[in-house]
Amino acid sequence: MARRRDLALAVGAAVVVVAVVAFGFRILGPPRDQRAISADERRVEDLRGIAQQIYGRHSLPATLDELRFGAKLEDPVTHSPYEYHAKSGTAYELCATFATSSGESDSERPNGFWNHARGRQCFEFDTAQTPPW
């Protein structure tokens, strides 16, 4: 009798564990989706760091290679360089290709500036203004 009870408890515990794991995948999505979201968050952090290094310069760099050591200048997954386009005066833009929409992540930016759609997205800056966080 005790053996049958132990077996029933073990089966019940296994069912609960499987249900919790399945529920977790339903809420968070599969690991590949989480990796894509993490890579997109990294892209935003990289672009933010680049914008911080350009901020306050007297002139725009011709290329991103002119920035100080430490800036992450390439996509963490594809290893292709981020796009940089100098505009008129002190205006410029930074572009990256995102795997997900920022709405798919729980880490929405409060000011909305860094929110992005899936695919290529460009963000406009001016060296005279502090880059948004």
Residue 74 inside a domain? The answer is: yes
> What b-and-e string marks burial along 95-114, b requiring 16 or more CB atoms within 10 Å of the CB?
ebbbbbebeebeeeeeeeeb
**Range name among 21-25, 42-46, 114-118, 126-130 with the lowest pLDDT average:** 21-25
- The percentage of residues in the chain with a pLDDT greater than 90, rounded to a whole number, is 50
Residue 43 inside a domain? The answer is: yes
Domain count, the chain: 1
Which residues lie closer than 8 Å to 77 by C-beta, 6 or more apart? 39, 99
69-87 pLDDT per residue, tens: 777 999 999 999 999 999 9
Residue 47 inside a domain? The answer is: yes
Please choose, from the candidates 71, 73, 72, the residue with its C-alpha nearest in 3D space to the C-alpha of residue 84. 73
Task: List the domain range (segments joined by +) for residue 62.
Answer: 30-126
d(CA 87, CA 28): 40
Residue 7 inside a domain? The answer is: no
